[in-house]
Amino acid sequence: MKPSEIAKEWLQKAQEDYGFASASLEDTEYFAQICFHFQQAAEKYLKAFIVANKLEFRAVHNLLELLDICKKQYPVLKK
């Protein structure tokens, strides 16, 4: 599979997590679960960027580590 196709899949999954978390935010008491889906969306958006830019990364869930990898391509990104 091409990097662009993989990135597209990551983006679609990220949109689903973000959409679910956003839609559920208004009427819920399950804030920990909502935060989990927002974290998942952020992770998948970062991985899509990494894959699209053909950057190397290891299997990790640390958002700051993934952001640091993204900054290799675009150093202007900030934490």
**Is residue 64 included in any domain, yes or no?**
yes
Tell me if 78 is assigned to some domain: no
14, part of any domain:
yes
Query: What are the tens digits of pLDDT across the range 29-72?
Result: 889 999 999 999 999 999 999 999 999 888 999 999 999 999 98
Does residue 27 sit within a domain? yes
pLDDT range class, residue 74, cuts 50, 70, 90: confident
Please tell me the distance from the alpha carbon of residue 30 to that of residue 20, in angstroms, as a whole number.
Answer: 13
Is residue 13 situated within a structural domain? yes
Is 10 inside a domain boundary?
yes
Between CA 55 and CA 30 the distance in angstroms is 35
Q: Which residues of 4-28 are buried (b: 16+ CB within 10 A; e: fewer)?
A: eeebeebbebbeebbebbeeeeeee
Residue 48: which of 18, 78, 79 has the closest Cα?
A: 18
**Number of domains comprising the chain:** 1
Whole-angstrom Cα distance, residue 6 to residue 34? Answer: 25
Q: By residue range, what is the domain housing residue 45?
A: 3-73
